[in-house]
Structure 1
Amino acid sequence: MELKGIHHVSAITANAANNYHFYTRILGMRLVKKTINQDDPSVYHLFYADEIGNPGTDLTFFEIPRAGTTNQGHSSISGTSLRVPNDDALGYWQRRLTEHGVIHDGIMEQDGRQIINFRDPENQRLTLISDESNTGLRGGKVWEHSPVPADKGIIGLGPVRLTVQDPAPTTSVLTDILTFREARSYPALVSGQEAIRVFSTGEGGTGAEIHLEIRNDLPQERPGRGSVHHVAFRVENEDELTKWKDRIQAERLPNSGLVDRFYFKSLYFREPNGILFELATDGPGFSTDENVDRLGESLALPPLFEDRRDEIEANLNPLDTKRPR
């Protein structure tokens, strides 16, 4: 068994409408699913991705209206990368972010790749990363109706950064249990700290990496709006996920067991530093209950919740996501 790469990253927003505007109108991603948090159906779960929500392209958000401000620190998923096709695309993005008043650090090089670090309106820590030199896992395809040109748009998730005080237990889970391999390191982002270690899985490349940052100068993160809830890794199918469940249980790691999320099947567990990992199957996908042309335009409910539709819709703030025809 070998994990194929990053499946999705799920974060927290306090305002679904503002979140929808930023990720679709400014970043040009497609809302491929407007649904509910299946563990709390009183709030939205929004999925932004490529043209059809291919695995490895999904950045998702739980809406928690009363979420406080994130106090950033260790024991956290401290950075999410979004892939763009090449270095030239970053020039476009530098101009676009500036025009829209988005806080960013300009183009720089990190780990041999061109990047732009930036923040969303809720201080979500994001990075645009060039696929110019990528030889590993391929990205997705920009939606034809995106406001961003197809040759410049976001094509998937890139490396995810974890920040911990003690790297040993996280490293053990990544390499001894989850089949990641340590590939290289690069200088710390903060003076005086250890180098950032890069772990790769599957075909490798920008869509299949975890970057492990060691920080002994920070308190533990207190999550809120603008923080990341969990990172999910790609598993081929349910049969393989069952084998992963057996492996996780054999390692005596408390876990959720198999969970049916309708659009994919999952297993959740926390590594010893408290960071929540998910293993998720590639299918069946987001067109299971909606036509591809209409993805994300109406509230999609898994069958388990369909008989509660009226109640659920009454408790949600209206969010118009219908695309003009």
Structure 2
Amino acid sequence: MSPLHHISLLTKNSRDNVAFYTQILGMRFVKNTVNQDNHRMLHYYYGDYQGTPGTVVTFFIVPHLGHRYDNDHYLATIGLKIPRNSIDYWENRLQDHQIAVIRKGKELYFRDHDDIQLILEEVDQLPLEEDHQVHNEIPGDKQILGLRSTEIHVKEPEKTSEFFEKLLGWQTNQQKIQFNETDFIKILPTDTQEATHMGRGGIDHVAFAVENDDALDRLYHRAQEQGWLIEKIVSRGYFKSLYIREPGGNRMEFATLAPGFTIDEPLETLGESFALPPFLADQRAEIEANIYPEN
């Protein structure tokens, strides 16, 4: 299993975002909820039919969000896997939707409305199991399998590599931490002292999967002992999360696999209503009244 859990980004337009990730990429809208650190901000989750960790991409909706400036440290690219014998289908589909796409071998490069670089790579894997396939026009044997990769850009890559090796035992080889045959992260150098500025399409964090609460607590204590910059450990309802800034300044999240997205709505109707985890349920009226308005 890949340790990738989810990737979270910023978008300025909820309608364009939903259309791109559900209608074009065919992901399921698995959760319509709120940013738990800012209750005025919507938080959308996309994934396979069950919202399985490792398939999930999330977006904070920030109306009127400005341009992003990727400079001294930032996260970039959403790498997604597609099953064997599906790349021609996806190249044609993207072109049919008037999306500029570049094909390099088994990879397709393209961008969404927020100028986010996406990469679809055909891998030698079977399609999703039937109970994980989304009910839409995309054939089950062509649907996106899940997350494959992302990039960590920092001024001093060796310090970020040391962070992953000391905390998790992950070794960097030629700027890459390879998790399995398909999945990886890259740690790449930046060449400017200009400060990064978050904006449209910026990646807020990448999250890695941790088996359960006990494993997360052990990781938390190890991070404390090693002196890393811990932001917080907190229950998000759908999972428990530990946030740490790696030495380059990018936010890393470590999230448990359970309990998942069905704690506040049934699997069959995930994403169809505005959902709040149980600890926010009694604030529903206030939260709904104060969501950032969109045009």
TM-score category (smaller protein): over 0.9
Alignment match of 1:118 (pick from 90, 110, 127): 110
Alignment of 1:1-325 (within 5 A): 4-86=2-84, 88-105=85-102, 107-109=103-105, 114-132=106-124, 143-182=133-172, 184-185=173-174, 197-201=175-179, 204-207=180-183, 209-216=184-191, 219-316=194-291
- Structure 1 residue matching 2:258: 3-state secondary structure: strand
Asked if the contact 1:76/1:163 (under 8 Å) is kept, the reply is yes
Moved over 6 A (4+): 138-141
CA distance in 2, matches of 1:139, 1:243: 32
CA distance change for structure 1 residues 285 and 248 in 2, over 3 Å: closer, same or farther? same
Identify the residue that residue 191 of structure 1 maps to in structure 2.
none
Asked if the contact 2:233/2:240 (under 8 Å) is kept, the reply is yes
| Letter in structure 2 aligned against 1:316 | I
CA distance in 2, matches of 1:49, 1:205: 21
Asked if the contact 1:33/1:47 (under 8 Å) is kept, the reply is yes
CA distance in 1, matches of 2:92, 2:193: 33
CA distance change for structure 1 residues 163 and 140 in 2, over 3 Å: closer, same or farther? farther
Asked if the contact 1:57/1:139 (under 8 Å) is kept, the reply is no
**TM-score, scaled relative to structure 1:** 0.84
Superimposed CA distance per residue, residues 146-165 of structure 1 (whole angstroms, 9 cap, x where no aligned partner): 23211111111111111223
CA distance in 1, matches of 2:263, 2:270: 10
**TM-score, scaled relative to structure 2:** 0.93
| Letter in structure 2 aligned against 1:250 | E
Asked if the contact 1:139/1:156 (under 8 Å) is kept, the reply is no
Superimposed CA distance per residue, residues 22-53 of structure 1 (whole angstroms, 9 cap, x where no aligned partner): 11011100011110000011111100000101
Asked if the contact 2:63/2:293 (under 8 Å) is kept, the reply is no
Please identify, of 171-180 and 29-38, the stretch whose mean Cα deviation from structure 2 is larger. Answer: 171-180
CA distance in 1, matches of 2:77, 2:128: 19
CA distance in 2, matches of 1:220, 1:54: 35
CA distance in 2, matches of 1:56, 1:222: 27
Asked if the contact 2:9/2:58 (under 8 Å) is kept, the reply is yes
Superimposed CA distance per residue, residues 272-304 of structure 1 (whole angstroms, 9 cap, x where no aligned partner): 111100000000011122111100000110122
| Letter in structure 1 aligned against 2:246 | E
| Letter in structure 2 aligned against 1:122 | D
CA distance in 1, matches of 2:263, 2:277: 10
Gaps of 5+ in 1: 186-196, 320-325
CA distance in 2, matches of 1:238, 1:257: 14
State, as a whole percentage, how many aligned pairs show the same letter.
37
Asked if the contact 1:57/1:140 (under 8 Å) is kept, the reply is no
Tell me the number of residue pairs that the alignment of Structure 1 and Structure 2 aligns.
293
